[in-house]
Structure 1
């Protein structure tokens, strides 16, 4: 009988210890989590129509998504979660015709495009 009580006690302690992660204790430092590509307006402003894929990759970096079914589109996605748990997501897509940049869409727009 004492071994059953011991097992139940250990199980209860493990349950209580894992339940602590569900509560947010005051004074505990939480970090901002950023995932995906970092894209800024300054980076987007460097894009020009007719740039090659290599030049776009140099300016914006490697895209997060390269669609196998649509090789003329690259997607850059940036997701940020604040320490309070709020999430925000921004997207930016570039479109190519062959090897040349033809257009963009998303949360940023190049300011110097015609």
Structure 2
């Protein structure tokens, strides 16, 4: 009797993950870097200025201090995965190059501005 009850409970609890409507959370990891933030970057900025604009990088290579990597990953509740990587390269502690999924100078993807809403 006790084994049957344990088996029934384990089957019911295991089946809960298959029911629709179960709440799943979005999981964010890393540094969220927006296009507006990247547009503020200019060649020749110091590491301190870049850190002020983008925040502390997720990865700094211990063997190559002249490269910073900003990695962002979002796993949505529906299972869709969004991932962005941006690498910054420095020469003499000044920003020299930006590579990755987004580039500085591109138009920002944003909704209506406050001025648009006022009209």
> 3-state DSSP class of the match of 2:50?
helix
Aligned partner (choices 97, 100, 110) of residue 104 of structure 2: 110
Counterpart Cα distance in 2 of 1:64 and 1:104: 15
Aligned partner (choices 64, 75, 78) of residue 70 of structure 1: 64
Across the aligned residues of Structure 1 and Structure 2, the Cα RMSD in angstroms comes to 1.9
- The range that moved more, 69-78 or 8-17, is 8-17
- 1:54 correspondence with 2:9: no
- 1:15 correspondence with 2:10: yes
Count of equivalent residues: 106
What residue ranges of structure 1 are gaps of 5+ in the alignment?
A: none
Counterpart Cα distance in 2 of 1:74 and 1:21: 43
Counterpart Cα distance in 1 of 2:16 and 2:57: 34
Cα deviation for residue 71 of structure 1 reads: 1.1
Which consecutive aligned stretches of 4+ in structure 1 deviate over 6 angstroms post-superposition? Answer: none
**TM-score using structure 1 length:** 0.81
- 1:44 correspondence with 2:63: no
Aligned partner (choices 64, 74, 83) of residue 80 of structure 1: 74
**TM-score using structure 2 length:** 0.78
> 3-state DSSP class of the match of 1:50?
coil
Q: Which has the larger radius of gyration?
A: 1
Q: Deviations over 1:37-56 (max 9, x none)?
A: 01001000000111000000
